[in-house]
Amino acid sequence: MHPKITYSDIDWHILWQNAREKKSWTAKGPADWDRKAASFASRNSDSPYVDLVLQRLPLTKTMSILDAGSGPGTLSLPLAKQVKSVTSLDYSRGMLDVLTDQASQQGITNITTVLGSWEDDWKKLGIEQHDICIASRSLSVDNLRAALRKLNSYAKSLVFISDRISPTPFDPEVFRAVGRPFRSGPDYIYTVNTLYSMGIHPCIDIISLERKTSFSSMEAALDSYRWMFKELSAEEEERLKGYVLEKSSVDSNGKIILNRSHPPRWALIWWKKEA
């Protein structure tokens, strides 16, 4: 006899927490992102991901945007050129410093940066409702339901979330090469089902990027792959280097090209705020 369980019996909050406990990668904290800010901004500023997201947003010059988990302004900076104002929220001071510097260099004056996290009281941080709320690749949180509820409550019109499709952004093959198991942790399907359990029925667009990823140098490529792990022993470091060397080539411009087995894919999950 099969247990007579239906969809309504599933607690997606518990499943999310269980999957996070079993994941083989470690979530980064503010200090980690502070150190990564400059290189992260450099690698993502001209990523095709940016245009693929922006072209799906119904932007007008009168809109206000809240970019929750803005990082170094990957979306905030180009968004600011198309809307009235952008509020960039992030818990990494280093990321916000890079964003502020880039905005100054580009002559952008309509971005307000706020140092804060998903767990903070956004009202106390001075954040008000915005026409569109965005969370781009920033939902690595302990309490997904609370984060989604908060994002929805601060939106006047629309909410857009970009969430990972497993194994993005990781490379399972490098885990095998290093000698560690790969367990993806929760991806976009948990977010979609959590929203459904909250009475929100979103639309989903799939964003696929190229398998090949370019790096300015071999050290930059190695650093990107090291980022997938919390700590590496000397032996694991050698295995990682061997894997990257085996999978890489050099193009005519001297850039290091890695051909990943899985193309990076993101789910753009969005919905209209109910009146």
pLDDT in tens, 116-161: 999 999 999 999 999 999 999 999 898 999 999 999 999 999 999 9
Pairing between β-strand 256-259 and β-strand 212-215 as defined by DSSP bridges: antiparallel
The reported pLDDT for the residue numbered 26 is 72
Pairing between β-strand 256-259 and β-strand 248-250 as defined by DSSP bridges: antiparallel
Spatial separation of the C-alpha atoms in residues 121 and 111, rounded to whole Å = 20
The reported pLDDT for the residue numbered 32 is 66
High-pLDDT (> 90) share of the chain, %? 67
The reported pLDDT for the residue numbered 101 is 95
- Residue 161: beta bridge partners? 135, 269
In the chain the domains, ranked by start, together with CATH numbers, are 7-210+263-272 (3.40.50.150), 212-259 (no CATH)
Contact 49, 266 (CB under 8 A): yes
Q: Is the dihedral of CA 57, 61, 64, 69 positive or negative?
A: positive
Annotate 97-110 with DSSP letters as a single string.
HHHHHHHHHHT---
Contact 251, 194 (CB under 8 A): no
The reported pLDDT for the residue numbered 188 is 97
Q: Could you tell me the two tokens for 28? A: 């980064």
Cis peptide bond prior to 167, omega within 30° of 0? yes
Is the model's pLDDT at 212 over the cut of 90?
A: no
The reported pLDDT for the residue numbered 30 is 73
3-state secondary structure of 209: coil
- pTM for the complete prediction? 0.90
The reported pLDDT for the residue numbered 36 is 65
Digit-coded pLDDT (tens) for 58-103: 999 999 999 999 999 999 999 999 999 999 999 999 999 999 999 9
Q: Stretch 46-66: mean pLDDT, rounded?
A: 94
Task: Dump strand ranges (E) for the chain.
Answer: 64-68, 85-90, 111-115, 130-136, 155-164, 203-208, 212-215, 248-250, 256-259, 265-272
The reported pLDDT for the residue numbered 34 is 59
Looking up tokens 């190695």, which residue turns up? 222
Per-position b or e across 183-218, b if 16+ CB within 10 A of its CB: ebbbbbebbbebbeeeebebeeeebebeeebebeee
Q: Stretch 28-42: mean pLDDT, rounded?
A: 64
* Reported confidence tier of residue 215, pLDDT bands at 50, 70, 90: confident
